[in-house]
Structure 1
Amino acid sequence: MLVPMTVSDFIDRARTVYGDRVGVVDEPSQVADPLPDLTYAEVAALAKRQAARLDELGIGVGERVAIVSHNAARMLVAFFGVCGSGRVLVPVNFRLRPDEIRYIVEHSGSRVLLVDPEVDEALASVGAEHRFVIGDDDAIFAAEGVEPRAWEPDENATATINYTSGTTARPKGVQITHRNIWTNALTFALHAGVTDRDVYLHTLPMFHANGWGMPFATTGLGVPQIVLRKVDGAEILRRVERHGVTFMCAAPAVVNAVLEAAQTWEGEIPGRDRVRIIVAGAPPPTKTVARVEAELGWEFIQIYGLTETSPLLTINRRRAEWDDLPADERASLLVRAGAPALGVSLSLSPENEVLARSNVVLEGYWEQPEESARALEGGWFHTGDGGTIGDDGYLTISDRKKDVIITGGENVSSVEVEDVIFSHPAVTEVAVIGVPDEKWGETIKALVVVGGEEQVTEAEIIAWCKERAAGYKAPTSVEFRSELARTATGKLQKFKLRAPYWEGRDRQVN
């Protein structure tokens, strides 16, 4: 028997098994009126009403619905109301500039655009055939009792298109299928040990690789989900204490924020010997891992993956064999990317690029067949990351082949930033690299060559970037050089430019 696996399976089980359980606690401090605590039966009902509203608007199966939002209960509902009815959800990073968001909306061909009220004014110039502000529930949801049209399930259909920074100036739309989402959710939940006794805190943006698939895994297992709109270390500790949170997913910068807040927390740290914090983006320093265990009493779990892989490829979780090791030695084992998740095969190219094969690998890049063919050449997904695989099967990421800088969990294309800086009239050459940073993991540095008698300051370069790209993409420091290292054919040798800043480290990611 072959039964198609779709996003609807997760919400259908939650409604059937955990219908009376509170499934979502919305963020109380937001511009839109927060939704009341929702049972899983109520989440399922809202999802049906959203699907029915899309029917009324004439949005057909396979058509795209873009959403630009901070974490919110209504965004969580959209994963099931949009994807679960055969449409395609396009979650967009709300931190992007209006022109960047406009490109994504237009490139994806989204006929519907849902905009968080906090960014509505800033995105006034970004439109679609149907544009609604989140919180205008009469416009987004059909009347109660209206049943949506049935959708013939297709597990190979695209469920979401997630735009990610790459080595080109324009982001690529990653097509994630229902099968991708299903496989990722189940394997992630299995490796993370998720059960219906857990409580999940949404510290990770839901737009980021669909919240790593956790909205689906937790829903299917009836896990109460606590929505956190904006990251704040002290607020995370308060939510852990108030709601009995047992696990969360986070970028290294979030870990640092919690550790910092813990320094002034009065009383015992909440969640000790209970919370699991799952970290990805770039492995934090060994001492940070040791501090999580010692100062918070939380379990540190490292994963590695990409938007293109739904995202889970590897997981590194404390093993029984490591229990008696000294804390620093155990931490040094945990900063590795990890062992392949169930169903994932890893390999290395002759150039030590990490290659992956799994049911979580993307269908392709939206309307970019050449990029798709390049990424999936030879039946393997080419990650663009360099690494090594130990005798025990554990992957360690050593450097980044495709010039993407991961700062605070956000992917930044160095090529895109270079393009912005190079547009400054005083700049004749520029190279953008990632350098280690204690708070953000990596931060952006621009190496700039100025032409002739032109003059420009570091502050002016940074301001120039912030005016033309999202703020987090601007360099935090600028160095002026007389020349930049290049090959005989004129290509920048970024490994040489990065080397002095990473001296003494065995990896060129932090």
Structure 2
Amino acid sequence: MRKPLLVTDFLDRARRHYADEEAVLATDGTRYTYGELGERADRFSAALQARGVEKGDRVAVLDPNTHYHLEAAYGTMGIGAIHTPLNYRLTPDDFSYMLSDAGVDAIYADAEYAGKVQAVREDVPTTTFLTDDPSAVDGDWESIEDALADADPNGVERPEMEEDDVITINYTSGTTGDPKGVCRTHRAETLHAYLITIHQEITDDDVYLWTLPMFHVNGWGHIYAITGMGARHVCTRGVDVDEVFERIRGEDVSYFCAAPTVLNMLGDHYDEHGGATAGDNDVRVATAGAAPPEATIRTVEETFGWDLKHVYGATETGPLVTTSDAKRHFDADADGRFAVKKTQGIGYLGTDVRVVDEDGADVPADGETIGEIVVRGNQVMDRYWNKPDATEEAFSERLDGYYHMGDLAVVDGNGFVSIQDRKKDIIISGGENISSIELEDTLFEHDVVSDVAVIPVPDDQWGETPKAFVVPESGDPNDAGATEEELREFVRERVATYKTPGEVEFVSALPTTATGKIQKYELREREWDEEDRMVGEG
């Protein structure tokens, strides 16, 4: 028997079985049941249809992690329109490009960020502008609450939908060139949600804290999985470490997601303020974006008492395709688990993850030979929106039919993948390959280092050499607690001499994406500004 896989099934199931149970704690303290969330989503659907939005039309959502985002997502998808979430940290020019590229027909924007859309309003095709507080936004914006109140939740006409219909477009972070719209189908979103439900061990009594942006690949699929399982959503407007600990304790949070940078922020806050790190529930936390240093894992598991799950993926892959949470491969109480947990790990169920050389052949499983990670799975994107050439390249550069992750890695005898670098970030100095991750992990071991990024910089002798940008624990680049030479000597004593950074620069902060991923390209652009190209003759 074949039943179409549709994302509308997730909220439908929650309404059917958990209608009277709490679904959402909103940022203003309002609590909604699944019955109430479902009705508000229906009203959003009806409001869109009243404004001419039809199946296949794109509806943008510019919103932090509020209940409005959940309602807009399900309200959009409930009529077969395409949910198009946007990164609220971007600029008006970014929004002009994305809204025009997607041909968006309507937008809901949180009042705090709606001004960025208003600034380019005349340049975009959007005709319907909705916000939570029109009085706080210049221009003609409709009140979403008024629109919901006027809508008939029983008048929604749900069209016929197929599992291969595109239902979301998620824009990449745009670290190189214009952002690309990643097209994902009902089938891809559904199967990815099933996978994270299994691998992240999501159940109906979970309490999920929204620290990960909902716009980021639909919150890594958690807008579906948490909803479909009938678990609780605890909303936030961003990462505030005081609020994170307060919500974990006060709402008995059992699960959330955080980049290593956020975990380090939580560790710093705990060192300064202490306090309980859990409520009545045990806590597990998923991290991705970069391999967490061993010191970070130790803090999370030994100091906080949480279970850390290191996962890996990309916007184009759902995002999640691997996990290092493979308990039969490590002793839960032994230090040896850290070496396993900091790897990207093994493929999710039904996911084919390989590391291949330039000819598309699998590299030896020796933990040493570097190749590129390629992935094939049901959670991988359908295509890039209006970019057939980029789509073709992404699926065929080394190995046809696999999405090419752009990450260079090794694989060991058990199939565990460990990223060594991004292709564009590999440092080739005097003909020798240097892993920036190895240098970052080494520097993280020094007591004065709070955060660090290592990139290649031009060098007359070696073509390029490593440079480290270090955020000191003090937060003050002028009072770092150590000198540049002391850190270079610290590294020199722990790695091959040729890998030692030629320069260390203390900074107050590193450029990051909304999910905490360090934007190395911004650092590279600064360092290579006077060069013809951003690669050395190593």
Question: Normalised by the shorter chain, which TM-score bucket?
Answer: 0.7 to 0.9
- Decide which moves more: 433-442 or 289-298: 433-442
Whole-Å separation in 1 of the counterparts to 2:77 and 2:244: 29
Shift of 1:491: 5.5
1:227 paired residue among 235, 241, 248: 235
> For 1:480 and 1:440, how far apart are their aligned partners in 2?
19
Distance 2:191 2:376 in 1: 13
Maintained 8 Å contact 1:277/1:301: yes
Counterpart of 2:372 in structure 1 is 353
| CA-atom RMSD in angstroms | 3.1
Q: Does 1:398 align with 2:420?
A: yes
SS in structure 2 of the partner of residue 123 of structure 1: helix
| Structure 1 match to 2:106 | 112
Give the SS at the match of 2:78.
helix
C-alpha distance in 2 between matches for 1:481 and 1:186: 44
- Aligned-partner residue type, residue 18 of structure 2: Y
The amino acid that maps onto 1:181 is E
Residue 218 of structure 1 corresponds to 226
Give the secondary structure class of the aligned counterpart of 1:278.
Answer: strand
- Equivalent runs, 1:358-507 vs 2, <5 Å: 358-377=377-396, 378-402=400-424, 436=440, 439=450, 442=453, 475=522, 492-493=534-535
Establish whether residue 121 from structure 1 lines up as the match of residue 115 from structure 2.
yes
| Inter-CA distance 482–85: structure 2 relative to 1 (3 Å threshold) | closer
Moved more, 372-381 or 435-444: 435-444
Out of 168, 189, 202, the position equivalent to 1:194 is 202
Q: Does 1:205 align with 2:213?
A: yes
Farther-moved stretch of structure 1 (204-213 vs 316-325): 316-325
Q: After TM superposition, give the deviation of residue 123 of structure 1 in Å.
A: 3.3
Deviation of 1:93 (Å):
0.4
User: Which residue of the partner structure matches residue 335 of structure 1?
Assistant: 342
Distance in 2, Cα, partners of 1:481 & 1:129: 42
C-alpha change, 1:53 and 1:402, in structure 2 (3 Å) is farther
User: Does the Cα contact within 8 Å between 1:6 and 1:84 map onto a contact in 2?
Assistant: no
* Residue in structure 1 matched with residue 80 of structure 2 by the alignment: 86
- Residues in 2 aligned to 1:63 and 1:224: alpha-carbon distance in whole angstroms: 30
- Larger relative CO (CA 8 A, sep 6+): 1 or 2? 1
- The one-letter amino acid of 2:349's match is L
Tell me the alpha carbon deviations over residues 374-400 of structure 1, each in whole angstroms, 9 at most, x when there is no partner.
112211111111112221121111111
Cα separation, partners in 2 of 1:481 and 1:243, compared to 1, 3 Å: closer
What are the Cα deviations for residues 421-462 of structure 1, in whole angstroms up to 9, with x where unaligned?
A: xxxxxxxxxxxx99948555647898699xxxxxxxxxxxx9
Deviation at residue 137 of structure 1 after TM alignment: 2.4
- Report if aligned partners of 1:65, 1:87 keep a CA contact under 8 Å in 2: yes
Question: What is the distance in 1 between the residues matched to 2:293 and 2:172?
Answer: 25
1:102 equivalent in structure 2:
96
Assess if the C-alpha contact under 8 Å between 2:254 and 2:283 holds in 1: yes
- The alpha carbon displacement at 1:54 in A equals 1.2
In the alignment, which residue of structure 2 is the partner of 1:423? none
Give the corresponding residue for 1:280.
288
Which residue of 1 is the match for residue 37 of structure 2?
43
Which one-letter code corresponds to 2:130 in the other structure? F
2:466 match: none
Distance 1:342 1:314 in 2: 9
- Partner SS, residue 405 of structure 2: strand
Contact 1:338 1:395 in 2 (8 A): yes
Distance 1:177 1:480, change over 3 A: closer
Letter in 1 for 2:111: P
Unaligned 5+ residue runs, structure 1?
Answer: 29-33, 405-432, 450-461, 485-489, 497-510
* Conserved? CA contact 2:408–2:423, under 8 Å: yes
Q: Distance in 1 between matches of 2:522 and 2:234?
A: 33
Cα distance 1:57–1:386, how it changes in 2: closer, same or farther (>3 A)? Answer: same
Cα pair 1:273 1:297 within 8 Å, conserved: no
Equivalent residue for 2:66, pick from 68, 72, 96: 72
Q: Distance in 1 between matches of 2:34 and 2:47?
A: 20
- C-alpha spacing 1:360/1:129, structure 2 compared with 1 (3 Å): same
Aligned residues: 440
2:193 & 2:409 partners in 1: Cα distance?
Answer: 25
Distance 2:356 2:328 in 1: 32
State the distance in 2 between where 1:403 and 1:129 align.
Answer: 41
Determine if contact 1:286/1:335 at 8 Å carries over to the other structure. Answer: yes
Distance 1:323 1:99, change over 3 A: same
State the one-letter code of the partner of 1:348. Answer: V
Which residue in 1 is equivalent to 2:48? 54
TM-score (norm 2): 0.75
Give the SS at the match of 1:102. Answer: helix
The whole-number CA distance in structure 2 between the counterparts of 1:398 and 1:477 is 18
Residue identity in the other structure for 1:19? A
Following the alignment from structure 1 to structure 2, what is the Cα–Cα distance between the partners of residues 494 and 166? Answer: 23
1:316 paired residue number: 324
- Is it true that 1:130 corresponds to 2:137 in the alignment? no
Distance 1:276 1:167 in 2: 30
Segments of 4+ moved more than 4 angstroms: 433-441, 443-449, 471-484
Cα distance change on mapping 1:371 and 1:140 into 2, 3 Å: farther
The separation in 2 between residues aligned to 1:273 and 1:55, in whole angstroms, is: 42
TM-score normalized by the length of structure 1: 0.79
The answer to whether the 8 A contact 2:252-2:280 is kept is no
1:261 alignment counterpart: 269
- Shift of residue 269, structure 1, vs aligned partner: 2.5
> Cα distance, 1:326 vs. partner?
2.9
Distance 2:199 2:343 in 1: 16
CA contact (8 A) 1:309 1:360 kept: yes
CA deviation map 1:180-231 (0-9, x unaligned): 1101101111011111121100110000111000110010101011001120
Cα shift at 1:303: 0.2
Contact 2:60–2:108 (Cα < 8 Å) also in 1: yes
What corresponds to 2:12 in structure 1? Answer: 12
Give the Cα separation in 2 of the matches to 1:283 and 1:205.
19
Paired AA for residue 43 in structure 2 = R
Does the 8 Å CA contact 1:167/1:403 hold for their aligned counterparts? no
